[in-house]
Amino acid sequence: MLEPFSESEALSLGVELELQLLSRVDYDLAPVAADLMAAVARRKHPGDIKPELTQSMIEISTSIHRSHDTLLAELREIRDVLCETADTLNVAVAGGGTHPFQHWAERRIYDTPRFHHISSLYGYLAKQFTIFGQHIHIGCPSPDEALFLLHCLSRYVPQFIALSASSPYVQGTDTGFASARLNSVFAFPLSGRAPFVESWREFGAYFDKMTATGVVEGMKDFYWDIRPKPEFGTIEVRVCDTPLTVETAADIAGYIQALSRMLMIERTYVPAEDDYLVYTFNRFQACRFGLDGTFVDPKTHEHRTLREDILVTLATVDRHAIETGAESACARLASRVRDGVSDAQWCRDQYAELGSTNELARAQSRLWMRR
């Protein structure tokens, strides 16, 4: 049975970031999550710091915010506590959607029953799932509104991918993708998009049919790009790579919040089943080419680059960004897009300069830890 959709304030905002834990010897992933959790538990900090699937990942999450400014302040505070604690263990922390050279066979699963269950079910996929994403929660006043927003935001999923893409390197080589991380997500049987249903009643019916097949037990088993989170009364955008800094992470969250406000208030965009005809094509273009990828407008079928599409959207969102306090965040994103600055490109530049993926991982951790 689908749990009831909790109440939450419309457009409230929360962020989760999965982070890499690295050894300072060679900057490979290090199985230190349990030690870091034990050390961090003794310190006061806002938000939450949680273990993730493997021993070399950790997840930080914020409390509920109304605007970009307080979100960023909290993210910075959590980052500082985490980095100070990591320093005492001589562990480095880094952003980025993939680790540049880790070998999946060496990953160790974090010791909880759920993680061991996932590991035994998915086998090597679970270890290959040592990837690092940013999840953004947007509060919705009602479940139907949540589904409306979910299908509207699906049109913008390629933008979110291109803006956050920070995973060009996998297992020591340049994949040619801006976000190679999502290729690992697509390997899971229940990944992709949510079914096109517009009311919570219909969604409940779909959910009941799925649970009756025995394939899923709860919402947690769906690895959709955007999924409703009835427990929080939010929808959760899950396509973003963890950016290389908390600042970029907060900017992207601020943009999605402003965009959601526009979609919910102006209601000029009407989602339709046929929007999804171009969905996987657009998503692939964004993963592969980032800002240079081709975007096919689902309504007009017009082709343009994602860079152009993002700049147009940022311009139309302007008024709402002022309302939600994401004005400066959107301005920073616009200038990044205009100048062709992206985390994926930063990784490639660093690799070209430093000559090894170990040095790249170190550079990523220095950027994240501001060392």
Partner 1 sequence: MESLRTLYTTLVTAPINAMATTLDFSTRFALLLVAGIVVAEAARRVLRLPRVTGYLLCGALIGPSWLGFVTPEDIAPLHVVGEMALGLVVFELGSRVDLAWLRRNPWLLATSLLEATITFIAVGALLLAIGADTAVAGVVAAICVASSPAVLLRIAHELRARGQATERAMLLCALNAIYSIVLLETLVAVLHLGVSDTMPTLLQPVRLLCGSLLLGVVTALVLDRIFRAFAGPGADAFLLALSVILLCGTVAMQTGLSTPLALLLGGLLLRHRSTRLVLFPPHFGTAGGVLVVLLFVLTGIRIDIAALLAGSGAALGVVALRSAAKISVAAALARPSGLTTRKGVLVGVALTPMSALTLLLVNHAPLAQLDVAAAVTSIVVGALFIVEIAGPVACALALRFAGETTNDRVSGTEHARTL
Residues that bind partner 1 in the complex, under the rule CB under 8 A: 23-28, 30-32, 34-35, 38-39, 55, 85, 87-90, 105-106, 108-109, 111, 113, 116-117, 119-120, 355-356, 358-359, 362
Minimum separation from the CB atom of position 1 to partner 1 (A): 26
Nearest CA-CA partner of 285 in 274, 296, 277, 300: 296
Report the residue number, 87 or 198, with the smaller CB distance to partner 1: 87
Beta strands in 265-326 (DSSP E): 294-296, 303-305
Helix (H, G, I), strand (E, B) or coil at 25: coil
Contact 175, 169 (CB under 8 A): yes
Nearer to partner 1, 244 or 363 (CB): 363
The distance of closest approach from Cβ of residue 363 to partner 1 in the complex, given in angstroms and rounded to an integer, is: 11
Residues in the chain, total: 371
Least distance to partner 1 from the beta carbon of 117, Å? 7
In the complex with partner 1, the residue whose CB is nearer, 78 or 262, is 78
Measured from the CB atom, the residue of 20 and 67 that comes closer to partner 1 is 20
Q: Provide, rounded to whole angstroms, the least separation between the CB of residue 44 and partner 1.
A: 15
* Closer residue to partner 1, CB minimum distance, 91 or 333: 91
Three-state DSSP at 14 gives strand
Query: Degrees (nearest 5) of the Cα angle 77, 83, 88?
Result: 135
Spatial separation of the C-alpha atoms in residues 301 and 4, rounded to whole Å: 37
Residue 106 or 308 with smaller CB distance to partner 1: 106
Q: How far is the CB of 40 from partner 1 (least distance, A)?
A: 9
Amino acid at 236: E
Residue in 2, 68, 1 with CA at minimum distance from that of residue 229: 2
d(CA 88, CA 71) in angstroms, rounded, equals 26
**Closer Cβ to partner 1, 105 or 212, answer by number:** 105
Give the residue from 42, 47, 104, 107 showing the smallest Cα distance to 75. Answer: 47
What minimum distance in Å lies between the beta carbon of 343 and partner 1? 22
Residues contacting 215, CB < 8 A, separation 6+: 190, 221
Q: What is the spatial distance between Cα 344 and Cα 179, in angstroms, rounded to a whole number?
A: 8
What is the C-alpha to C-alpha distance for residues 307 and 162, in angstroms, rounded to an integer? 9
- 114 versus 304: smaller Cβ distance to partner 1: 114
